[in-house]
Amino acid sequence: MSSAAPHVSDASATRRDGQHGGAGRASEGHNGHTVGIAFKTPPARKRATLEKELLNHMRRSQKFLTGVLLLLLGASAALGQESYASGNDEYTLELPSATWKATPRGPNKRQHMEFIYGERGEGYLRLRKEVVEADESLSALARREADLKLRYLPGFVGGKEERFAGRLNGITTTYEYTNAGKPMAGRIYYLQADNRTVYTLHFTAQAEKLLRIRNQTDAIARSFRLKQ
Protein backbone atom coordinates (compact mmCIF):
# COMPACT_ATOMS: atom_id res chain seq x y z
CA MET A 1 0.00 0.00 0.00
CA SER A 2 1.64 3.25 -1.04
CA SER A 3 1.60 6.21 1.24
CA ALA A 4 1.40 9.80 0.01
CA ALA A 5 4.19 12.20 0.89
CA PRO A 6 3.11 14.71 3.48
CA HIS A 7 2.02 17.95 1.97
CA VAL A 8 3.41 21.12 3.43
CA SER A 9 1.09 23.96 2.95
CA ASP A 10 2.26 27.39 1.94
CA ALA A 11 0.97 28.71 5.23
CA SER A 12 3.22 26.30 7.20
CA ALA A 13 6.26 27.30 5.14
CA THR A 14 5.45 30.92 5.72
CA ARG A 15 5.28 30.30 9.49
CA ARG A 16 8.68 28.57 9.48
CA ASP A 17 10.23 31.42 7.56
CA GLY A 18 8.73 33.86 10.05
CA GLN A 19 10.35 32.02 12.97
CA HIS A 20 13.81 32.61 11.46
CA GLY A 21 13.10 36.14 10.41
CA GLY A 22 13.84 37.64 13.85
CA ALA A 23 17.37 36.19 13.95
CA GLY A 24 18.49 36.68 10.37
CA ARG A 25 17.46 35.63 6.87
CA ALA A 26 16.54 32.30 5.19
CA SER A 27 18.43 30.62 2.35
CA GLU A 28 17.92 27.37 0.43
CA GLY A 29 20.40 24.54 1.13
CA HIS A 30 21.75 21.87 -1.20
CA ASN A 31 18.89 19.49 -0.42
CA GLY A 32 16.25 22.09 -1.08
CA HIS A 33 15.52 22.63 2.60
CA THR A 34 15.29 26.13 4.00
CA VAL A 35 18.24 27.01 6.27
CA GLY A 36 18.19 29.98 8.67
CA ILE A 37 21.36 32.13 8.97
CA ALA A 38 21.46 34.37 12.06
CA PHE A 39 23.26 37.72 12.29
CA LYS A 40 23.60 38.84 15.89
CA THR A 41 23.98 42.57 16.45
CA PRO A 42 24.32 44.25 19.86
CA PRO A 43 21.20 45.96 21.11
CA ALA A 44 21.06 49.72 20.55
CA ARG A 45 21.32 50.44 24.28
CA LYS A 46 24.47 48.32 24.68
CA ARG A 47 26.06 49.93 21.61
CA ALA A 48 25.39 53.41 23.00
CA THR A 49 27.00 52.41 26.32
CA LEU A 50 30.13 51.15 24.58
CA GLU A 51 30.42 54.35 22.55
CA LYS A 52 30.03 56.45 25.70
CA GLU A 53 32.75 54.47 27.51
CA LEU A 54 35.10 54.85 24.56
CA LEU A 55 34.48 58.60 24.45
CA ASN A 56 35.15 58.95 28.19
CA HIS A 57 38.38 56.98 27.82
CA MET A 58 39.55 59.25 25.01
CA ARG A 59 38.77 62.35 27.11
CA ARG A 60 40.72 60.99 30.09
CA SER A 61 43.68 60.22 27.85
CA GLN A 62 43.59 63.72 26.37
CA LYS A 63 43.54 65.31 29.84
CA PHE A 64 46.46 63.14 30.94
CA LEU A 65 48.57 64.07 27.91
CA THR A 66 47.72 67.75 28.36
CA GLY A 67 48.82 67.59 32.01
CA VAL A 68 52.11 65.93 31.09
CA LEU A 69 52.77 68.59 28.43
CA LEU A 70 52.09 71.42 30.90
CA LEU A 71 54.46 69.85 33.43
CA LEU A 72 57.20 69.57 30.82
CA LEU A 73 56.71 73.18 29.73
CA GLY A 74 56.78 74.36 33.34
CA ALA A 75 59.95 72.42 34.04
CA SER A 76 61.57 73.85 30.92
CA ALA A 77 60.64 77.40 31.92
CA ALA A 78 61.92 76.84 35.46
CA LEU A 79 65.24 75.57 34.13
CA GLY A 80 65.61 78.72 32.04
CA GLN A 81 64.99 81.10 34.95
CA GLU A 82 67.67 82.50 37.21
CA SER A 83 67.22 84.33 40.48
CA TYR A 84 69.24 87.44 41.20
CA ALA A 85 69.67 89.08 44.60
CA SER A 86 71.37 92.45 45.09
CA GLY A 87 74.67 92.52 46.92
CA ASN A 88 73.13 94.03 50.02
CA ASP A 89 70.15 91.64 49.89
CA GLU A 90 67.83 94.59 49.39
CA TYR A 91 65.85 93.14 46.48
CA THR A 92 65.51 90.07 44.29
CA LEU A 93 64.24 89.47 40.78
CA GLU A 94 63.86 86.63 38.31
CA LEU A 95 65.75 86.59 35.02
CA PRO A 96 63.58 84.58 32.55
CA SER A 97 66.52 83.49 30.42
CA ALA A 98 70.14 82.51 31.06
CA THR A 99 71.04 84.99 28.32
CA TRP A 100 70.52 87.82 30.83
CA LYS A 101 73.76 88.53 32.70
CA ALA A 102 74.12 90.82 35.71
CA THR A 103 77.06 93.21 35.91
CA PRO A 104 77.78 95.73 38.69
CA ARG A 105 77.57 99.34 37.50
CA GLY A 106 79.13 102.45 38.96
CA PRO A 107 80.99 102.96 42.23
CA ASN A 108 78.00 101.96 44.38
CA LYS A 109 77.81 98.34 43.33
CA ARG A 110 75.16 97.48 45.89
CA GLN A 111 72.44 99.67 44.40
CA HIS A 112 73.15 100.44 40.75
CA MET A 113 73.09 97.36 38.57
CA GLU A 114 72.97 96.62 34.87
CA PHE A 115 71.91 93.50 33.00
CA ILE A 116 72.73 92.65 29.40
CA TYR A 117 70.74 90.32 27.16
CA GLY A 118 73.67 88.86 25.22
CA GLU A 119 74.58 92.22 23.65
CA ARG A 120 73.47 95.73 24.52
CA GLY A 121 71.59 96.12 21.25
CA GLU A 122 69.58 92.98 22.02
CA GLY A 123 68.52 94.12 25.48
CA TYR A 124 70.01 96.29 28.21
CA LEU A 125 68.65 96.99 31.69
CA ARG A 126 69.77 99.64 34.17
CA LEU A 127 68.30 99.28 37.65
CA ARG A 128 68.38 102.23 40.04
CA LYS A 129 66.99 103.19 43.42
CA GLU A 130 65.53 106.69 43.57
CA VAL A 131 64.74 108.72 46.68
CA VAL A 132 61.95 111.18 45.92
CA GLU A 133 59.88 113.79 47.72
CA ALA A 134 57.00 112.33 49.66
CA ASP A 135 54.42 114.16 47.56
CA GLU A 136 56.02 113.49 44.15
CA SER A 137 53.94 111.18 41.97
CA LEU A 138 55.39 108.54 39.68
CA SER A 139 54.12 110.47 36.66
CA ALA A 140 55.93 113.59 37.83
CA LEU A 141 59.12 111.60 38.35
CA ALA A 142 58.85 110.12 34.84
CA ARG A 143 58.37 113.57 33.29
CA ARG A 144 61.34 114.97 35.21
CA GLU A 145 63.55 112.09 34.07
CA ALA A 146 62.47 112.58 30.46
CA ASP A 147 63.22 116.32 30.59
CA LEU A 148 66.61 115.92 32.24
CA LYS A 149 67.99 112.72 30.70
CA LEU A 150 66.06 111.61 27.61
CA ARG A 151 64.88 114.56 25.55
CA TYR A 152 68.41 115.28 24.25
CA LEU A 153 68.82 111.86 22.68
CA PRO A 154 68.98 111.91 18.85
CA GLY A 155 65.51 111.58 17.34
CA PHE A 156 63.83 111.39 20.75
CA VAL A 157 60.07 110.80 20.67
CA GLY A 158 58.18 110.31 23.90
CA GLY A 159 55.63 107.52 24.25
CA LYS A 160 52.65 106.77 26.44
CA GLU A 161 52.34 106.08 30.14
CA GLU A 162 50.56 102.97 31.48
CA ARG A 163 49.75 101.54 34.86
CA PHE A 164 51.75 98.46 35.86
CA ALA A 165 50.95 95.76 38.43
CA GLY A 166 53.53 93.42 39.93
CA ARG A 167 54.90 92.58 43.35
CA LEU A 168 55.53 96.32 43.42
CA ASN A 169 53.02 98.45 41.55
CA GLY A 170 53.85 101.45 39.44
CA ILE A 171 53.81 102.82 35.90
CA THR A 172 55.67 102.29 32.63
CA THR A 173 56.74 104.84 30.04
CA THR A 174 58.16 104.32 26.56
CA TYR A 175 60.18 106.36 24.11
CA GLU A 176 62.08 106.08 20.83
CA TYR A 177 65.39 107.47 19.61
CA THR A 178 68.22 106.68 17.19
CA ASN A 179 71.77 105.48 17.74
CA ALA A 180 74.26 105.47 14.85
CA GLY A 181 71.31 105.66 12.48
CA LYS A 182 69.56 102.64 14.01
CA PRO A 183 66.06 102.95 15.48
CA MET A 184 66.18 102.34 19.21
CA ALA A 185 63.54 102.19 21.92
CA GLY A 186 63.33 102.43 25.69
CA ARG A 187 60.88 101.18 28.26
CA ILE A 188 61.04 102.29 31.91
CA TYR A 189 59.25 100.66 34.83
CA TYR A 190 58.78 102.93 37.86
CA LEU A 191 58.02 100.69 40.86
CA GLN A 192 56.90 102.29 44.13
CA ALA A 193 58.41 100.76 47.29
CA ASP A 194 57.08 103.46 49.64
CA ASN A 195 56.25 107.17 49.46
CA ARG A 196 59.96 108.09 49.38
CA THR A 197 61.49 105.16 47.47
CA VAL A 198 61.10 104.24 43.80
CA TYR A 199 62.99 101.61 41.83
CA THR A 200 63.41 102.21 38.11
CA LEU A 201 64.01 99.37 35.64
CA HIS A 202 65.17 101.05 32.43
CA PHE A 203 65.30 98.77 29.38
CA THR A 204 66.77 99.80 26.02
CA ALA A 205 67.41 97.88 22.78
CA GLN A 206 66.95 98.12 19.05
CA ALA A 207 63.30 99.01 18.56
CA GLU A 208 62.08 95.74 17.05
CA LYS A 209 64.13 93.65 19.48
CA LEU A 210 62.81 95.45 22.54
CA LEU A 211 59.30 94.77 21.29
CA ARG A 212 60.21 91.12 20.79
CA ILE A 213 61.32 90.67 24.42
CA ARG A 214 58.41 92.65 25.90
CA ASN A 215 57.15 89.55 27.71
CA GLN A 216 60.58 89.16 29.35
CA THR A 217 60.84 92.79 30.47
CA ASP A 218 57.34 92.55 31.97
CA ALA A 219 58.25 89.29 33.72
CA ILE A 220 61.42 90.78 35.22
CA ALA A 221 59.54 93.84 36.49
CA ARG A 222 56.72 91.72 37.94
CA SER A 223 59.19 89.49 39.78
CA PHE A 224 61.02 92.43 41.38
CA ARG A 225 60.48 92.51 45.13
CA LEU A 226 62.12 93.77 48.29
CA LYS A 227 63.53 91.33 50.79
CA GLN A 228 61.89 91.42 54.19
pLDDT tens digits in sequence order for the chain, 228 residues long:
444 444 444 444 444 444 444 444 444 445 555 555 555 555 777 777 877 888 887 887 777 776 655 555 444 444 456 787 776 668 999 999 999 998 865 565 555 689 999 999 999 999 999 999 999 999 999 999 999 999 999 999 999 999 999 999 999 999 999 999 999 999 999 999 999 999 999 999 999 999 999 999 999 999 999 987
How far CA 152 is from CA of 121, 180, 202, in Å, comes to: 20, 15, 17
The kind and range of the H/E element at 178 are strand 170-179
User: What is the Cα 146 distance to its own chain's centre?
Assistant: 35
pTM of the prediction? Answer: 0.64
**What is the rounded distance in angstroms from the CA atom of residue 7 to the CA atom of residue 1?**
18
| Edge-first strand listing for the sheet containing 100-104 | 100-104, 113-117, 124-131, 197-206, 182-194, 170-179, 157-164
Give the distance between the most distant pair of CA atoms in the chain.
138
Q: For residue 210, give the nearest of 175, 181, 167 by alpha carbon.
A: 175
pLDDT of residue 219: 97
Cα 132 vs. chain centroid, distance in angstroms? 38
pLDDT at 176: 98
Which residues make beta-bridge pairs with 94? 83
Per-residue pLDDT at 81: 63
CATH of domain 82-226: 3.40.1000.10
At 58 the pLDDT is 81
Other CB atoms within a 10 A radius of the CB of residue 202 amount to 19
Contact 117, 99 (CB under 8 A): yes
Q: Are 160 and 142 in contact (CB under 8 A)?
A: no
Strand partners, 186: 175, 204
